Amino acid sequence: MGLRINETVPNFTAMTYQGEITFHDWIGDSYAILFSHPKDYTPVCTTEFGAVAQLADEWAKRGTKVIGLSVDGVEDHKGWKSDIENVAGTTAGFPIIADEDLAVSKAFDMLPADAYLPDGRTPADSATVRSVFIIGPDKKLRLSMTYPMTVGRNFAEVLRALDALQMTDGKPLAAPANWQPGQDVIVGLALDDDAATAQFGALDIKLPYLRFAKDPS
């Protein structure tokens, strides 16, 4: 069974090109995003790592740490990092986990327990290691998404989802379809109309169970 929303994510100790980390300690009191890749020096993944690097200021504004993972080793990561920075035109300052033994990939259910890397492997041997996990300061999984190797991830959408998660965290609110920061939000049914109005201001009531209010953030 895969890792479920609101479950505590696995803790682990692993090497990165910046040194050893223990995952829960590394997260600390921040939000965190773990994004994984099936192999270094692959074209789509290079553009994705570059996109994450270009958003460094946006992650920092949201108090969010980002960390990559690939099933190659530290020395490969160091060399690949140079390619990523050349393509992105900026520094890739986040750590990249070296998951050569597949321990993290298996712990996060991206690969089956009996998976192994054969001699002469290609990215297809670890193709399912292409997930994004957004994790709260409580170390619980808030969101996950998995992409095939042929579809580059949209990190603007990851950023939007992070904004929605942080906006609704601990509040009786939800983000509607296609929501963007600043747009109206849905007020949860845990509050009646009077309580919702008192907390969030005037309501736009579309249906008895669908009520909008201004974005409180």
Q: Which residues are catalytic?
A: 45
Closest CA to 155 of 127, 132, 130: 132
Give the Cβ contact number of residue 161 at 10 Å.
Answer: 18
8 Å CB contact between 148 and 52: no
Whether residue 175 contacts residue 164, with contact meaning beta carbons closer than 8 Å, is answered with yes
The amino acid at 58: E
Tell me the H-state helices in the chain.
23-27, 43-54, 56-61, 74-88, 103-107, 155-168, 193-200
Q: Which two tokens stand for residue 110?
A: 């991206």
Helix ranges, 62-188 (H):
74-88, 103-107, 155-168
3-class SS letters over 60-81: HHCCEEEEEEECCCHHHHHHHH
DSSP 8: B
